[in-house]
Structure 1
């Protein structure tokens, strides 16, 4: 069995190296194995000696193939062994700084890609808090496909009923009304044209000049939903026609 194993190993190294020494040892080994019986003590001794010689030749072959690598490794180890602690620490810090610089460069490149992504938005949907288009179902739910223009705001467009209703109390609408000498109040809610705003303003000014007549202007409602002026309502209550 030992003879077969050594023969196989020798044949493999022989093909890999092409060394003449291995050729000679391998040939002698095969001849010795052929001449002497494996059961004889002399044969065992001969095979052991040839095996040792073959292993030595194999080691020499490996050293020849890896000579440059082993020499460089040995020089590196010797140079490192002769360095002081300060030199080793300086080398370690330099390696760490180089690694950190490489990581920072990779992070900068990654952040640039994240800051300037190519967003696919063919429907021109509004962007959400994350800078990406909002889902289409949410776009339809809030009525953002509906456009509302306000002449008072300089024909500014508002998308969706919520934004349109909210803009009446915001700075743009208030500032635009103030340019026409109108102070915003709840009475101007829903007024989007300049002419309508000016007409309403004139009507409110005229009413304020006439003063407030509670008897004729104040209205009250009975249980059935009928609306009367305060004076008429009081007369009907006194007569018992309606009940409060």
Structure 2
């Protein structure tokens, strides 16, 4: 099996120095098939993205996905979105986009778009609004849904997801068409014991955690500590097994082992 090594596809660096990942044809194809099947991608879907192609969500999640599934892709410059966030929503409206991903900050930036830039847009075609690549904020989801409901956006289109560069891209997706699920847990207990204890939304020390779905087909996920699997609701190391797991870190045998 010939590896495809993309030095530009690296880990985010949120928990350590960014590292390049070495991916094989099998890694990439297994992830493309699992993600496309999970959302039921079809001939009527249209992708819209401003994500850069040096980012795994932009390269694999939009460009390679469009090529594999034969779906049209409308690609905007990341600088265009940075200067005018409304250009993203306009592209979805103009091209009747159905699939469009972005990190949480992009949805938050859209909340500041002036009303006159939103007027006349139609987001009713947008059926899967992937939100990933960084922590998903429950308040951002709520405000985005409320702000753009008047131009056809449906809250059930919001699609919080989880993935890793080491796993090619995606690990878990929620069911398509389901309202985002938000759990409320006790903040102090979580911080002091690493255990999530459910509380009511009006609890004085409640923190909201957005659920990112279930593992994709063919993906096994366990939460472990010191090699032992933990019960549900416990914080630990995320251990993933599937055909999408990378071949290793690029030219970094020490980190791979």
Question: TM-score scaled by structure 1?
Answer: 0.18
Instruction: Compare the two structures and name the one with the higher strand fraction.
Output: 2
Point out which structure has higher relative CO (alpha carbons under 8 A, 6+ apart): 2
Question: TM-score scaled by structure 2?
Answer: 0.17
| Higher alpha-carbon Rg | 1
